[in-house]
A and B are shown apart, each in its own frame.
Chain A
Amino acid sequence: MNRTFQWIDERTGLSGPIRAFFNYPVPKYVHRNFLYTLGGLTLISFSLQVITGILLVFYYDPSTEGAYNSVDYITYILPLGWLVRGIHHYGASAMVILISLHMLRTYYYSAYKKPREINWLTGVLLLFLVLAFGFTGYLLPWDQKGYWATKVGTEIAGSVPMMGAYITKIMRGGADLGQATLTRFYATHVMLLPTAVALLIAVHIFQLRFHGMAPPITERAKAQSKKFLPFFPYWVVTDLIAGLGLLALLVYISYINRAPLEFPADPTSSNYLPRPEWYFLFFFQLLKYFPGKLEPVITIAIPLFIFGSMLLLPFIDTSEERRPWHKPVTTLVSIFYIVVILVFTYLAMAEFG
């Protein structure tokens, strides 16, 4: 055994880094703390998406004529197809929830402050890419839901002043939604985004390892901050338990509720109400209050403002204070956003019944 390891180490030089990775000292206050497993859980849910995604690609047919039937086949005929598609479908929602909670955790702990700015910035990009996963994946079954949401979604991008029309066409691969659109969305969803997300996660986690955990904010945690446990097995075991719990939940939901598939895309239907995935609903709802010339306020100005202020946050909030109850501005701003999102999501859901 030892000789094998030695042989490998002499050729690869990897045993040092691997040992350091596993023995990494993790502060005790992090151990068995659910709030600190959220990042790891996001990583586990991403891995589940990658595994189920690779499986789906074996059967999915990315053509306007075959996509719908292949998804129908996966869902209703293929052995365990319901399970694989179910985990991928519900797992996407889980990932959005987890990444949001993880972001809120790091936000309230002021973990974005010096020297962890790059950790936060890669996080903001990851959030954006995860939403892009949702947007591109929604079209792939080529059913009514995906077709109309994408038609409206690409049209919204068209409200950018001056270049709007070009953006819409480039997103669609032509003037109308069609084969070129499906292929583009497919390529983005299965090649471009997974690669980009995997690279960013690597940077994100390397940053985390480089700086260590951000300082604790409660007195109780501070008292434990000089005690450490090795990453393996103490931290990984907590993450693994949480991850298996997530998997069990996704299996259960997929079992009681098949991943939905509506009627095939019909470009002539005039009573179909397009609606996006639930996490874009609040945005869709907001659109209704800003008709006509004001529309770019919602479609362009507000998203740019939110995304921009998230990117700038670590450079604006540079105080030493990390306790959210002593930082009324950041705390109230976040509560304002959460309330707006909840209220408009609720209004949209009430409208769709």
Chain B
Amino acid sequence: MAISDLPPLDPEKGEWDEKALSRRDFLEAAVVFGTLAGAGAVAVSVPSMRFLVGKSLEPPVAQWVELGKVSDLSANDVTRVNYSVRGTDAWREVTKRGTVYVYSDDGGESFVALDGTCTHLGCIVQWHDDEQKYKCPCHAGFFTREGEVISGPPPRPLRELPVKTENGVVFAEI
């Protein structure tokens, strides 16, 4: 942008101010504008981004859910538990639901709980008693009774959940 770039004004209308004709003044104003506009853009976009991310990255609040009475859970087989528990989902009070598989390695003394969510893309796996393995319906991922990957796309074993027993009732932390 130089002085000669400005289109001539109709003399009836008036004329360009000298400021406008000075390359230095022009550059100065342009630099001030650029700096302020950049600062303004940062001042608007950074908080906007932070606002949009919100609380997405915070770990979910862990919650103990009841899996059932010791006497109701099988000592030898794998039991499927569809739990539901009151909890908060963002600003909403909801019933959270999910699937946990429970089994015992010591004939019902203590229990192991596995999150039923496939570690591949998040479908819920099914326990097949006859074959003694979990099968994911989505892309044919297979897991052992202990949750180790046998075959298929899942990258990790099924997630094991902390378990506790209180007054004969088994809980898992989800």
A interface vs B, CB < 8 Å? 63-65, 148, 151-152, 155-156, 166, 169-170, 172-176, 178-180, 183, 266-274, 287-288, 291-293, 295
Contact = CB atoms under 8 A, between A and B. Distances in A.
Nearest to A174: B56
A156 B121 contact: yes
Contacts of B47: none
Contacts of A169: 56-57
Interface of B is mostly: loop
Contacts of A170: 52-53, 56-57
A274 B117 CA distance: 14
Contacts of B52: 170
Contacts of B55: 173-174, 180
Contact of A174 (B82, B90, B126): B90
A152 B123 contact: yes
A270 B125 contact: yes
Identify the interface centre among A151, A176, A268, A292: most chain B CB within 10 Å of its CB. A268
A173 B90 contact: yes
A271 B98 contact: no
A152 B121 contact: yes
A269 to B, nearest CB: 6
Interface of B: 52-60, 82, 89-92, 94, 97-99, 116, 120-126, 137-139, 152-153, 155
A84 B94 CA distance: 31
Given A179-B92, A179-B94, A291-B152, A271 B121 contact: no
B92 A148 contact: no
B124 A270 contact: yes
Contacts of B121: 151-152, 155-156, 274
A65 B55 CA distance: 21
A32 to B, nearest CB: 43
Contacts of A65: 92, 94
B62 to A, nearest CB: 11
B126 to A, nearest CB: 5
Nearest to B141: A291
14 contacts: A65-B94, A151-B122, A170-B57, A174-B55, A180-B89, A267-B97, A267-B99, A268-B82, A268-B99, A269-B124, A271-B137, A272-B123, A274-B121, A293-B155
A267 B124 CA distance: 8
B54 A173 contact: yes
A152 B99 CA distance: 17
Given A268-B99, A269-B124, A270-B124, A63 B92 contact: yes
Given A169-B56, A175-B60, A271 B126 contact: yes
A157 to B, nearest CB: 11
Contacts of A287: 139
Nearest to B99: A268
Contact of A270 (B53, B94, B123): B123
Contacts of A266: 97
Nearest to A165: B57
Given A64-B94, A173-B54, A180-B54, A268 B139 contact: no
B54 A155 contact: no
Contacts of A178: 89-90, 92, 94
A185 B144 CA distance: 36
B116 to A, nearest CB: 7
Given A173-B54, A178-B89, A292-B153, A268 B94 contact: no
